[in-house]
Amino acid sequence: AGLNTAAVAKGQLYFGTATDNPELTDTSYVTQLSNTDDFGQLTPGNSQKWDTIEPSQNTFSYTKGDAIANLAEANGQKLRCHNLVWHSQLPSWVSSGTWTNATLLAAMKNHITNVVTHYKGRCYAWDVVNEALNEDGSYRESIWYTTIGPAYIPIAFATAAAADPDVKLYYNDYNIEYSGSKATGAQNIVKLIQSYGAKIDGVGLQAHFIVGSTPSQSAQASTMAGYTNLGVEVAITELDIRMTLPSTDALLAQQKTDYSNTVAACLATKGCVGVTIWDWTDKYSWVPNTFSGQGAACPWDENYAKKPAYTGILTALGGT
Ligand code: G3I
Protein backbone atom coordinates (compact mmCIF):
# COMPACT_ATOMS: atom_id res chain seq x y z
CA ALA A 1 0.00 0.00 0.00
CA GLY A 2 1.00 3.63 -0.44
CA LEU A 3 0.96 6.56 1.97
CA ASN A 4 -2.68 7.61 1.54
CA THR A 5 -3.99 4.06 1.59
CA ALA A 6 -2.08 3.40 4.82
CA ALA A 7 -3.19 6.68 6.40
CA VAL A 8 -6.86 6.11 5.60
CA ALA A 9 -6.63 2.54 6.95
CA LYS A 10 -5.50 4.09 10.26
CA GLY A 11 -8.49 6.44 10.38
CA GLN A 12 -6.90 9.57 8.93
CA LEU A 13 -8.84 11.52 6.29
CA TYR A 14 -5.96 11.72 3.81
CA PHE A 15 -2.24 11.85 3.15
CA GLY A 16 -1.62 14.62 0.64
CA THR A 17 0.79 16.93 -1.13
CA ALA A 18 1.07 20.48 -2.35
CA THR A 19 1.52 21.07 -6.05
CA ASP A 20 1.81 24.06 -8.37
CA ASN A 21 0.66 24.95 -11.87
CA PRO A 22 4.03 25.08 -13.71
CA GLU A 23 4.68 21.43 -12.75
CA LEU A 24 1.48 20.23 -14.37
CA THR A 25 3.13 20.23 -17.81
CA ASP A 26 5.46 17.42 -16.58
CA THR A 27 3.55 14.24 -17.40
CA SER A 28 5.52 11.84 -15.22
CA TYR A 29 5.15 14.30 -12.35
CA VAL A 30 1.37 14.44 -12.87
CA THR A 31 1.14 10.64 -13.00
CA GLN A 32 2.61 10.32 -9.51
CA LEU A 33 0.70 13.39 -8.23
CA SER A 34 -2.52 11.71 -9.32
CA ASN A 35 -1.67 8.37 -7.68
CA THR A 36 -4.31 8.14 -4.97
CA ASP A 37 -2.53 5.21 -3.34
CA ASP A 38 -0.01 7.84 -2.13
CA PHE A 39 -1.99 11.10 -2.29
CA GLY A 40 -5.62 11.53 -1.28
CA GLN A 41 -5.41 15.30 -1.06
CA LEU A 42 -3.88 18.25 -2.94
CA THR A 43 -3.05 21.83 -1.89
CA PRO A 44 -2.36 24.54 -4.50
CA GLY A 45 1.06 25.92 -3.51
CA ASN A 46 0.49 29.36 -5.04
CA SER A 47 -2.54 29.61 -7.29
CA GLN A 48 -5.21 30.46 -4.71
CA LYS A 49 -3.18 33.27 -3.17
CA TRP A 50 -4.36 36.87 -3.31
CA ASP A 51 -1.90 38.06 -5.96
CA THR A 52 -3.05 35.32 -8.34
CA ILE A 53 -6.78 35.48 -7.67
CA GLU A 54 -7.41 39.24 -7.27
CA PRO A 55 -4.49 40.98 -9.03
CA SER A 56 -6.44 44.22 -9.31
CA GLN A 57 -9.26 45.26 -7.06
CA ASN A 58 -12.50 43.37 -7.62
CA THR A 59 -11.14 41.57 -10.71
CA PHE A 60 -10.98 37.85 -9.96
CA SER A 61 -8.96 35.31 -11.89
CA TYR A 62 -9.60 31.67 -11.09
CA THR A 63 -7.95 29.89 -14.02
CA LYS A 64 -4.87 28.64 -12.17
CA GLY A 65 -6.63 27.75 -8.94
CA ASP A 66 -9.34 25.95 -10.88
CA ALA A 67 -6.76 23.87 -12.77
CA ILE A 68 -5.64 22.28 -9.50
CA ALA A 69 -9.16 22.01 -8.09
CA ASN A 70 -10.26 20.27 -11.30
CA LEU A 71 -7.29 17.88 -11.20
CA ALA A 72 -8.03 16.94 -7.60
CA GLU A 73 -11.67 16.32 -8.49
CA ALA A 74 -10.81 14.27 -11.56
CA ASN A 75 -8.50 12.15 -9.40
CA GLY A 76 -10.96 11.84 -6.52
CA GLN A 77 -8.62 13.75 -4.16
CA LYS A 78 -9.65 16.17 -1.42
CA LEU A 79 -8.56 19.80 -1.76
CA ARG A 80 -7.08 21.95 1.01
CA CYS A 81 -7.59 25.52 -0.11
CA HIS A 82 -4.73 27.94 0.63
CA ASN A 83 -5.06 30.83 1.59
CA LEU A 84 -7.33 33.86 2.10
CA VAL A 85 -5.55 36.45 4.30
CA TRP A 86 -1.74 36.59 4.47
CA HIS A 87 0.92 39.32 4.56
CA SER A 88 2.85 37.78 1.64
CA GLN A 89 2.08 37.41 -2.07
CA LEU A 90 -0.27 40.37 -1.94
CA PRO A 91 -0.74 42.47 -5.09
CA SER A 92 0.59 46.01 -4.76
CA TRP A 93 -2.92 47.49 -4.76
CA VAL A 94 -3.31 45.84 -1.37
CA SER A 95 0.20 46.06 0.08
CA SER A 96 0.87 49.64 -1.11
CA GLY A 97 -2.66 50.96 -1.05
CA THR A 98 -3.89 53.85 1.07
CA TRP A 99 -6.32 52.32 3.51
CA THR A 100 -8.54 53.12 6.42
CA ASN A 101 -9.90 50.53 8.80
CA ALA A 102 -13.22 50.61 6.95
CA THR A 103 -11.88 50.44 3.38
CA LEU A 104 -9.41 47.65 4.09
CA LEU A 105 -12.04 45.63 5.95
CA ALA A 106 -14.37 46.03 2.99
CA ALA A 107 -11.66 44.88 0.55
CA MET A 108 -10.79 41.90 2.77
CA LYS A 109 -14.43 40.85 3.12
CA ASN A 110 -15.02 41.25 -0.61
CA HIS A 111 -12.02 39.03 -1.38
CA ILE A 112 -12.99 36.33 1.12
CA THR A 113 -16.64 36.27 0.07
CA ASN A 114 -15.82 36.08 -3.63
CA VAL A 115 -13.15 33.38 -3.32
CA VAL A 116 -14.93 31.18 -0.78
CA THR A 117 -18.15 31.39 -2.81
CA HIS A 118 -16.28 30.45 -5.99
CA TYR A 119 -14.86 27.31 -4.37
CA LYS A 120 -17.95 26.51 -2.29
CA GLY A 121 -18.39 22.77 -1.91
CA ARG A 122 -14.98 21.99 -3.44
CA CYS A 123 -12.59 22.49 -0.49
CA TYR A 124 -12.20 20.26 2.54
CA ALA A 125 -10.71 23.24 4.36
CA TRP A 126 -9.62 26.83 3.86
CA ASP A 127 -6.51 28.31 5.46
CA VAL A 128 -8.37 31.51 6.33
CA VAL A 129 -5.55 33.41 8.02
CA ASN A 130 -1.93 32.44 7.40
CA GLU A 131 1.15 33.33 9.48
CA ALA A 132 -0.30 36.16 11.62
CA LEU A 133 2.30 35.73 14.38
CA ASN A 134 5.86 36.81 15.10
CA GLU A 135 8.25 34.27 16.61
CA ASP A 136 7.63 35.69 20.11
CA GLY A 137 3.89 35.10 19.77
CA SER A 138 2.97 38.74 19.24
CA TYR A 139 0.98 39.79 16.18
CA ARG A 140 2.93 40.28 12.96
CA GLU A 141 2.82 43.95 11.90
CA SER A 142 1.13 43.19 8.58
CA ILE A 143 -1.05 45.66 6.73
CA TRP A 144 -4.01 43.75 8.20
CA TYR A 145 -2.89 44.16 11.78
CA THR A 146 -1.61 47.71 11.54
CA THR A 147 -4.74 48.97 9.74
CA ILE A 148 -7.50 46.91 11.33
CA GLY A 149 -6.01 45.51 14.54
CA PRO A 150 -6.36 41.92 15.77
CA ALA A 151 -10.09 41.94 14.95
CA TYR A 152 -9.19 41.29 11.30
CA ILE A 153 -8.69 37.65 12.29
CA PRO A 154 -12.14 36.82 13.72
CA ILE A 155 -13.78 38.99 11.07
CA ALA A 156 -12.00 36.99 8.34
CA PHE A 157 -13.25 33.72 9.86
CA ALA A 158 -16.81 34.99 10.24
CA THR A 159 -16.82 36.21 6.63
CA ALA A 160 -15.56 32.85 5.34
CA ALA A 161 -18.16 30.96 7.40
CA ALA A 162 -20.94 33.12 6.00
CA ALA A 163 -19.86 32.32 2.42
CA ASP A 164 -19.55 28.54 2.98
CA PRO A 165 -20.90 27.19 6.27
CA ASP A 166 -19.65 23.66 5.52
CA VAL A 167 -15.95 24.15 4.77
CA LYS A 168 -13.46 23.69 7.63
CA LEU A 169 -11.82 26.97 8.61
CA TYR A 170 -8.17 26.85 9.69
CA TYR A 171 -5.55 29.13 11.19
CA ASN A 172 -2.21 28.06 9.60
CA ASP A 173 1.35 28.89 10.72
CA TYR A 174 4.93 27.60 11.09
CA ASN A 175 7.02 27.09 14.25
CA ILE A 176 3.83 26.34 16.18
CA GLU A 177 4.54 22.56 16.17
CA TYR A 178 6.44 22.66 19.48
CA SER A 179 5.66 24.43 22.75
CA GLY A 180 6.75 28.02 23.23
CA SER A 181 5.59 31.60 22.78
CA LYS A 182 4.48 31.15 19.19
CA ALA A 183 2.40 28.04 19.93
CA THR A 184 0.84 29.93 22.84
CA GLY A 185 0.12 32.77 20.40
CA ALA A 186 -1.65 30.33 18.07
CA GLN A 187 -3.74 29.01 20.97
CA ASN A 188 -4.63 32.62 21.78
CA ILE A 189 -5.75 33.17 18.18
CA VAL A 190 -8.13 30.20 18.48
CA LYS A 191 -9.50 31.68 21.71
CA LEU A 192 -9.78 35.16 20.15
CA ILE A 193 -11.85 33.83 17.25
CA GLN A 194 -14.04 31.84 19.62
CA SER A 195 -14.47 34.88 21.90
CA TYR A 196 -15.99 36.76 18.95
CA GLY A 197 -18.47 33.95 18.45
CA ALA A 198 -16.90 33.13 15.08
CA LYS A 199 -16.22 29.61 13.82
CA ILE A 200 -12.74 28.10 13.71
CA ASP A 201 -12.42 24.38 12.99
CA GLY A 202 -8.71 23.74 12.89
CA VAL A 203 -5.11 24.74 13.35
CA GLY A 204 -2.69 23.94 10.52
CA LEU A 205 0.85 23.11 11.56
CA GLN A 206 3.04 23.85 8.55
CA ALA A 207 6.01 21.78 9.78
CA HIS A 208 8.82 23.18 7.64
CA PHE A 209 11.50 21.30 9.55
CA ILE A 210 15.27 20.79 9.50
CA VAL A 211 16.94 17.36 9.49
CA GLY A 212 18.25 16.61 12.98
CA SER A 213 16.39 19.56 14.55
CA THR A 214 12.86 18.30 14.06
CA PRO A 215 10.84 18.33 17.30
CA SER A 216 10.35 14.90 18.85
CA GLN A 217 7.21 12.84 18.37
CA SER A 218 6.11 13.45 21.98
CA ALA A 219 6.80 17.20 21.76
CA GLN A 220 4.72 17.44 18.59
CA ALA A 221 1.91 15.31 20.01
CA SER A 222 1.66 17.32 23.21
CA THR A 223 1.58 20.60 21.25
CA MET A 224 -1.17 19.21 19.02
CA ALA A 225 -3.15 18.32 22.15
CA GLY A 226 -2.84 21.95 23.28
CA TYR A 227 -4.91 22.91 20.22
CA THR A 228 -7.36 20.02 20.20
CA ASN A 229 -8.13 20.73 23.87
CA LEU A 230 -9.60 24.04 22.65
CA GLY A 231 -12.14 22.12 20.58
CA VAL A 232 -10.49 22.33 17.15
CA GLU A 233 -8.89 19.71 14.90
CA VAL A 234 -5.31 19.91 13.67
CA ALA A 235 -3.51 18.93 10.47
CA ILE A 236 0.10 18.95 9.36
CA THR A 237 -0.25 21.18 6.32
CA GLU A 238 3.15 21.84 4.68
CA LEU A 239 5.59 19.18 5.87
CA ASP A 240 9.11 19.11 4.51
CA ILE A 241 12.46 18.46 6.22
CA ARG A 242 15.43 20.19 4.66
CA MET A 243 19.15 19.55 5.00
CA THR A 244 22.38 21.32 4.16
CA LEU A 245 23.49 19.91 0.80
CA PRO A 246 24.99 17.62 -0.34
CA SER A 247 22.75 14.89 0.99
CA THR A 248 24.56 11.93 2.57
CA ASP A 249 23.37 8.49 3.69
CA ALA A 250 23.55 9.69 7.30
CA LEU A 251 21.42 12.77 6.57
CA LEU A 252 18.90 10.69 4.62
CA ALA A 253 18.67 8.24 7.54
CA GLN A 254 18.08 11.08 10.01
CA GLN A 255 15.50 12.57 7.64
CA LYS A 256 13.68 9.23 7.60
CA THR A 257 13.53 9.28 11.41
CA ASP A 258 12.34 12.90 11.43
CA TYR A 259 9.56 12.26 8.90
CA SER A 260 8.53 9.13 10.79
CA ASN A 261 8.30 10.93 14.15
CA THR A 262 6.25 13.76 12.67
CA VAL A 263 3.72 11.51 10.93
CA ALA A 264 3.54 9.30 14.04
CA ALA A 265 2.68 12.35 16.17
CA CYS A 266 -0.32 13.09 13.97
CA LEU A 267 -1.42 9.47 13.94
CA ALA A 268 -1.21 9.31 17.75
CA THR A 269 -3.31 12.47 18.17
CA LYS A 270 -7.07 12.22 18.25
CA GLY A 271 -8.15 15.18 16.14
CA CYS A 272 -5.12 15.23 13.81
CA VAL A 273 -6.90 14.60 10.52
CA GLY A 274 -4.07 14.25 8.03
CA VAL A 275 -0.61 15.14 6.78
CA THR A 276 0.25 17.19 3.68
CA ILE A 277 3.82 17.40 2.34
CA TRP A 278 4.89 20.64 0.62
CA ASP A 279 5.35 18.92 -2.74
CA TRP A 280 6.56 15.35 -3.00
CA THR A 281 9.71 15.66 -5.13
CA ASP A 282 12.91 17.59 -4.53
CA LYS A 283 12.66 18.71 -8.16
CA TYR A 284 9.91 21.22 -7.34
CA SER A 285 10.57 22.02 -3.69
CA TRP A 286 10.51 25.68 -2.64
CA VAL A 287 13.48 25.15 -0.28
CA PRO A 288 16.56 25.72 -2.51
CA ASN A 289 15.07 28.98 -3.82
CA THR A 290 14.68 30.32 -0.30
CA PHE A 291 17.54 28.75 1.69
CA SER A 292 20.78 28.87 -0.26
CA GLY A 293 22.74 25.60 0.01
CA GLN A 294 19.82 23.67 1.48
CA GLY A 295 17.35 21.26 -0.06
CA ALA A 296 16.57 17.56 -0.50
CA ALA A 297 13.58 18.20 1.77
CA CYS A 298 10.98 15.91 0.16
CA PRO A 299 10.35 12.12 0.35
CA TRP A 300 11.12 11.62 -3.37
CA ASP A 301 14.36 12.80 -4.98
CA GLU A 302 14.73 14.97 -8.10
CA ASN A 303 14.49 11.89 -10.33
CA TYR A 304 11.27 10.75 -8.65
CA ALA A 305 12.97 7.89 -6.79
CA LYS A 306 11.66 7.22 -3.27
CA LYS A 307 14.10 8.22 -0.52
CA PRO A 308 14.42 6.52 2.89
CA ALA A 309 11.97 9.16 4.16
CA TYR A 310 9.22 7.51 2.11
CA THR A 311 9.68 4.23 3.95
CA GLY A 312 9.85 6.12 7.24
CA ILE A 313 6.44 7.68 6.59
CA LEU A 314 4.88 4.45 5.32
CA THR A 315 6.12 2.46 8.32
CA ALA A 316 4.88 5.13 10.74
CA LEU A 317 1.46 4.80 9.09
CA GLY A 318 1.52 1.06 9.66
CA GLY A 319 1.97 0.27 5.96
CA THR A 320 4.44 -2.00 4.25
O1 G3I B 1 5.44 33.58 -10.81
C2 G3I B 1 6.76 34.16 -10.78
C3 G3I B 1 7.41 34.01 -12.14
O4 G3I B 1 6.68 34.74 -13.09
C5 G3I B 1 8.85 34.53 -12.05
O6 G3I B 1 9.49 34.30 -13.25
C7 G3I B 1 9.60 33.81 -10.95
C8 G3I B 1 11.00 34.36 -10.76
O9 G3I B 1 11.43 34.26 -9.44
O10 G3I B 1 8.90 33.98 -9.72
C11 G3I B 1 7.58 33.44 -9.75
O12 G3I B 1 6.98 33.64 -8.50
C13 G3I B 1 7.43 32.79 -7.46
C14 G3I B 1 6.25 31.99 -6.95
O15 G3I B 1 6.64 31.20 -5.83
C16 G3I B 1 5.67 31.04 -8.00
O17 G3I B 1 6.61 30.08 -8.36
C18 G3I B 1 7.99 33.66 -6.36
O19 G3I B 1 9.18 34.30 -6.80
C20 G3I B 1 8.29 32.82 -5.15
O21 G3I B 1 8.66 33.66 -4.07
C22 G3I B 1 7.07 32.01 -4.76
O23 G3I B 1 7.44 31.18 -3.66
C24 G3I B 1 6.37 30.60 -2.98
C25 G3I B 1 6.36 31.09 -1.53
O26 G3I B 1 5.32 30.44 -0.84
C27 G3I B 1 6.17 32.58 -1.42
O28 G3I B 1 6.15 32.97 -0.08
C29 G3I B 1 6.53 29.10 -3.01
O30 G3I B 1 6.43 28.64 -4.36
C31 G3I B 1 5.48 28.44 -2.15
O32 G3I B 1 5.77 27.05 -2.05
C33 G3I B 1 5.55 29.06 -0.76
O34 G3I B 1 4.59 28.44 0.06
C35 G3I B 1 4.56 28.93 1.41
C36 G3I B 1 3.12 28.80 1.90
O37 G3I B 1 2.24 29.46 1.02
C38 G3I B 1 2.97 29.33 3.31
N39 G3I B 1 3.92 28.72 4.20
C40 G3I B 1 5.32 28.74 3.77
C41 G3I B 1 5.45 28.15 2.37
C42 G3I B 1 6.89 28.05 1.94
O43 G3I B 1 7.47 29.33 1.81
Query: Which residue's alpha carbon is nearest to atom 11 within ligand 1?
Result: 46
Per-residue pLDDT tens digits for 12-47: 999 999 999 999 999 999 999 999 999 999 999 999
For 83, phi then psi, to 5°, come to: -140, 175
Nearest Cα to 205, choosing from 185, 234, 240, 248? 234
Per-residue pLDDT tens digits for 162-184: 999 999 999 999 999 999 999 99
Per-residue pLDDT tens digits for 68-104: 999 999 999 999 999 999 999 999 999 999 999 999 9
* Whole-prediction pTM: 0.98
Per-residue pLDDT tens digits for 283-311: 999 999 999 999 999 999 999 999 999 99
3-class DSSP assignment, residue 46: coil
Question: Distance, CA 16 to ligand 1 centroid (Å)?
Answer: 19
What is the pLDDT at residue 36? 98
Query: Ligand 1: which of 17, 19, 23, 46 to mutate, most ligand atoms within 8 Å of CB?
Result: 46
**Are the C-beta atoms of residues 278 and 240 closer than 8 Å to each other?**
yes
**Are the C-beta atoms of residues 237 and 127 closer than 8 Å to each other?**
yes
Quote the CA–CA distance of 6 and 102 in Å, as a whole number. 49
Give the residues across from 240 on adjacent strands: 208
* Selected catalytic residue, list 54, 131, 177, 238: 238
Question: Distance, CA 292 to ligand 1 centroid (Å)?
Answer: 15
Query: Which residue's alpha carbon is nearest to atom 30 within ligand 1?
Result: 286
Per-residue pLDDT tens digits for 148-161: 999 999 999 999 99
